[in-house]
Structure 1
Amino acid sequence: MDEPIISSNLELPGFRFHPTEEELIDFYLKNMVFRRKLHFDIISVLNIYQHEPWDLPGLAKIGEREWYFFVPRDRKHGNGGRPNRTTEHGFWKATGSDRKIVSLLGHNRVLGLRKTLVFYRGRAPRGSKTDWVMNEYRLPDNCSQPKDIVLCKIYRKATSLKVLEQWAAKEEEEQEILKSIQEEAAAAVETVAAASFSSIFVISNISTFIQWRLT
């Protein structure tokens, strides 16, 4: 019996897991659906809806900014069979329509579908939007294999470089304004101090002159 190439506890210096969407669907998900055993175990099977998104990084087997899970599809009862995507403290809400993932090798072969969802705190239809995002990958609807499991990628929405630059520019502008105010305040203090000294000098001279005339 062959030993696993990679154990479930990965400790490989320099190893990074950044699969493409094609690799996620055509290799990892398809092998999972077809029950093909792999020589490594790096994606956990987990019902992520029993956990909040901020707890998922600690439950993944690998990942730094992106975390992957095979997720059994939990159906709602009496609601058209839609998947149940609620957690104890919130819910995942789909954004837009599903996107087809096409093979890069040509022939326009549809490998699967990607649904993008955002996590909201609270209860639907109301809720507070968070920066937690999920890409849910599934096999095509015309696939003859069971579709009771999907592959999910969890991550936090990154702040764009443009926004970061705007924040930096705004902070720099505020620092310049503060510096200008401090310089003006210091100059005003010096002016007041100089004026006070001049007044004292004048009053002192007047007092001396009066005393001289009286003698």
Structure 2
Amino acid sequence: MENMRSIYRDHVSMILSHPGMEFRPTEQELVYEFLIPKNSGEYLNDHINEVNLYGLNPFDLPQTDSFTYSGRRGTQIRWYYYVATASINDQDGKRISVGGYWKKKGCGISVEGNGGVVIGAKRSFVFYATDSVGGAIRTNWIMQEFSLFRNPEPPFVLCRLYRRSTVSPVEVMDLRQGDDTNFDE
């Protein structure tokens, strides 16, 4: 089992060292190959940093910690971090952060391993920026938090952050009016 993890980590290191290659772990890989070893104290050379995410504004995340991801919505930049559970300030389902808060979106889902065994949980959060008057504005920042199943107080959770790309219907209409391209063909 440990040999397979070592092979996987070597594979990730090789991918990240080649230009044009992507770091695209599945939810199962995030929990099994990264979060479980991190919480058990195993040495990891996995290129994911440990930070106090709630001490950062998502708009200020360093580009050096990011990974490019090409998916069905085009190219996105994603950030992966280990976050110490002791740094999480949870108030009424909101995670208080610098410049705003992360609000839980929906209910968590299970992350299943081989054979359908539940190995972790995934919760999604949306960042709301707050202003000096106390108002909050929903942003397009999404955080997916992965935690271990049946571990009441693990030292770390793993967070994947990205900006959701959205185009409103008004923007689509503006694009159609300003361009001769026929979008209906």
Please confirm whether the aligned pair reaches a TM-score higher than 0.5, indicating the same fold.
Answer: yes
Instruction: Tell me if structure 2 keeps the 8 A contact 1:48–1:56.
Output: no
Structure with greater strand percent: 2
Change (3 A) 1:175 1:158: closer
2:109 equivalent to 1:102: no
Q: Is 1:71 aligned to residue 83 of structure 2?
A: yes
> Residues 29, 116 of structure 1: CA spacing in aligned structure 2 closer, same or farther, 3 A cutoff?
same
Among candidates 34, 40, 48, match of residue 43 of structure 1: 48
| Equivalence map 1:1-215=2 (5 Å) | 11-38=17-44, 40-58=45-63, 60=65, 62-64=66-68, 65-73=77-85, 74-76=87-89, 85-103=95-113, 105-106=114-115, 108-122=116-130, 126-140=135-149, 142-143=150-151, 146-159=153-166, 167-168=171-172, 170-173=174-177
Native 8 Å contact 2:145 2:159 kept in 1: yes
* Cα offset, 1:170, TM superposition: 4.7
Matched letter for residue 61 of structure 2: L
Q: Indicate the RMSD between aligned Cα atoms, in angstroms.
A: 3.1
Instruction: Describe the superposition over 1:61-111 as per-residue Cα deviations: whole angstroms up to 9, x where unpaired.
Output: x4121110000122549x7xx8982223111111111111122x32x2101
| SS at structure 2 position matched to 1:98 | strand
Higher relative contact order (CA 8 A, sep 6+): 2
Q: 1:111 to 1:126 in 2, by over 3 A?
A: farther
Point out where structure 2 has 5 or more consecutive residues left out of the alignment.
1-8, 69-76, 181-185
Asked if the contact 1:68–1:152 (Cα under 8 Å) also holds between the matched residues in 2, the reply is yes
Cα distance, 1:31–1:75 mapped onto 2, change above 3 Å: same
The CA distance in 2 between the partners of 1:71 and 1:115, in whole Å, is 14
Give the count of matched residue pairs: 158
Amino acid corresponding to residue 50 of structure 2 in structure 1: V
Q: CA deviation at 1:143?
A: 3.0
Give percent identity, aligned residues only. Answer: 28
The structure with the largest alpha-carbon Rg is 1
Structure with more of its chain in helix, by fraction: 1
Change (3 A) 1:16 1:127: same
Give the Cα separation in 1 of the matches to 2:63 and 2:171.
31
Q: For structure 1, list consecutive stretches of 5 or more residues without a partner in the other structure.
A: 177-215
TM-score, normalised by the number of residues in structure 1: 0.62
Task: Give the alignment's TM-score, normalised by structure 2.
Answer: 0.71
